[in-house]
């Protein structure tokens, strides 16, 4: 029998009761039994709950929270056949954006999760310094990107995406660092850098394509190294990103490959799918092709 599990981050909602009722209604409309609910905790952001859901017989597991909840749940599903259904519950919803899934309509997202088709996507794996390897679905990186996503939760609740703009502006005032990138044809030498981003997919909020050639099912990782100098340098980088140019320039270099290593001359801020992990000096990333099953709309539904 079909069984839906919802792994929810309760801190994302003032009151879960109407959300539970909404999910129950859609399940009934789709002739599915009501969902089983598993709440995340500060100690376990979703991986343990997803594993418990699998042990309880779940045939579909849906994270309902931010990008961190999605990543934690996916970590339990990688390598298996039980699909991940994406429900909007955070500020970014970045994997859903890249897969062209609803990001502001819980009913429609749940219907797609229940009635859609399975599709296998790549998963990134990253290890910082001597930390254990972790899964990432969207992007991991060091420098300005990590400083930008390190926005206060209360500010994010109040301002939404504008909270990232504020933290990004503050981060621009900080000095850069020197980094050596290995992999994807990059010349392994120390260069002045403001940020290094490794992506499994390439689109940020607002349709901004930081990695315009990245695809979540192409069996590779895309990397961007940004090292603009001065105001004009930043203007050139922003123009390249916003216009989805592929040529690049001295302040913005892109690489493609299956494995990358980044080494920095000092500890700098690092992040995994928007979760800040603290200052680090080395990043090692690789792609795990087709490792995760996600639920996407049927072609007739997608139009």
Architecture in CATH of 125-289 = Sandwich (2.60)
Digit-coded pLDDT (tens) for 265-300: 999 999 999 899 999 999 999 999 999 999 999 875
The model's pTM is: 0.88
CA pair distance 74, 195, nearest whole angstrom = 26
pLDDT at 234: 61
Both tokens of 251, joined, read 């302040």
Contact between 124 and 135 under an 8 Å Cβ cutoff? The reply is yes
Digit-coded pLDDT (tens) for 160-218: 555 555 555 565 666 789 999 999 888 888 889 989 999 999 988 767 788 989 999 99
Q: Looking at per-residue confidence, does 299 or 70 come out higher?
A: 70
Domain 4-115 has CATH 2.40.30.10: no
Q: Looking at per-residue confidence, does 64 or 212 come out higher?
A: 64
pLDDT at 274: 86
Residue 280, by phi and psi: left (phi above 0), alpha (psi -120 to 50) or beta? Answer: beta
pLDDT at 90: 77
Q: Looking at per-residue confidence, does 39 or 186 come out higher?
A: 39
Q: Give the residue extent of every domain in the chain.
A: 4-115, 125-289
Of 262, 223, 220, 212, give the one whose Cα is nearest residue 124: 220
Both tokens of 141, joined, read 């990186």
Q: Comparing 4-115 with 125-289, is the CATH topology the same?
A: no
């Amino acid at each position: 029998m079909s069984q839906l599990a919802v792994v929810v981050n309760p801190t994302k909602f003032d009151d879960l009761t109407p959300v539970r009722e909404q999910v129950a209604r859609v399940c009934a409309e789709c002739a599915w039994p009501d969902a089983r609910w598993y709440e995340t905790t500060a100690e376990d952001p979703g991986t343990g709950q997803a594993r418990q859901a699998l042990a309880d017989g779940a045939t579909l597991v849906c994270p309902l929270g931010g990008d961190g909840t999605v990543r934690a749940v996916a970590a339990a599903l990688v390598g298996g056949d039980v699909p991940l259904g994406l429900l909007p519950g955070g500020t970014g919803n970045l994997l859903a954006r890249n897969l062209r899934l609803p990001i502001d309509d819980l009913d429609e997202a749940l219907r797609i999760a229940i009635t859609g088709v399975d599709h296998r996507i790549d998963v990134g794996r990253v290890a910082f310094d001597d930390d254990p390897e972790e899964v990432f679905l969207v992007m991991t990186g060091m420098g300005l990107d990590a400083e930008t996503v390190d926005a206060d939760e209360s500010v994010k609740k109040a301002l939404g995406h504008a909270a990232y703009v504020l933290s990004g502006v503050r981060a621009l005032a900080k000095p850069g660092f020197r980094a050596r990138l290995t992999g994807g044809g990059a010349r392994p030498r120390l260069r002045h850098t403001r940020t290094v981003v490794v992506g499994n997919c390439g689109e940020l909020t607002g349709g901004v394509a930081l990695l315009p050639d990245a695809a979540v099912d192409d069996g590779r990782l895309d990397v961007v190294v940004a090292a603009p100098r001065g105001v004009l340098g930043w203007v050139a980088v922003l123009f390249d990103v916003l216009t989805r140019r592929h040529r690049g320039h001295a302040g913005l270099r892109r690489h493609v490959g299956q494995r990358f290593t980044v080494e920095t001359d000092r500890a700098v801020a690092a992040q995994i799918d928007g979760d800040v992990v603290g200052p680090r000096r080395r990043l090692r990333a690789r792609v795990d092709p087709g490792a995760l099953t996600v639920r996407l709309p049927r072609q007739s539904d997608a139009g």
